[in-house]
Amino acid sequence: MTPAQRAFERLQAWPDLSAGPASCGTGRALCSVRDEIVHFHSDRDVDLHLTHRAIQRFRYDLGGSTAIRLVPGSRWVTVHLDCDADVDLLLSLVSIALKAHQSRPPADLAPGPTALSAPPGCNFHRVTVLPRAAAGEA
């Protein structure tokens, strides 16, 4: 079983999430009542939908992880799953995402003067994830 399959099975059991097709057209999604929260694109790559406020709050922690890729201007965070620790990280971030979406202020709903102008959709095809060994050799 791949890391993404393990993560999907664990998250699908959460009562606040339901499964469906990803709106980007590739893979499966887990959705809350209000929003798509996670897109599973491959056996290792997952996009997680956070709010602008959550990304700003955890920006340095997210940027310091070798499993996380941030795309400027996007409310989606790409998580590369290589091991069980990455799956655990994703589950923690999904919990943060659910809480952030439930308590999101109106200004964070759509782009505007007080919100981040986010391109529509997730980061699929906008992020290239290199294996950790190859990334460290550069």
- Strand boundaries in 26-83, DSSP class E: 28-31, 36-40, 45-49, 68-70, 76-80
Q: Do 43 and 3 contact (CB within 8 A), yes or no?
A: yes
Residue 113, pLDDT score: 35
Taking only the tens place, the pLDDT of each residue in 78-135 is 999 999 999 999 999 999 999 998 886 555 544 433 333 334 578 886 655 555 555 4
- pLDDT score of 42 more than 80: yes
Taking only the tens place, the pLDDT of each residue in 51-65 is 888 999 998 988 899
- pLDDT score of 8 more than 90: yes
Q: Do 77 and 47 contact (CB within 8 A), yes or no?
A: yes
State pTM to two decimals.
0.79
Q: Do 135 and 75 contact (CB within 8 A), yes or no?
A: no
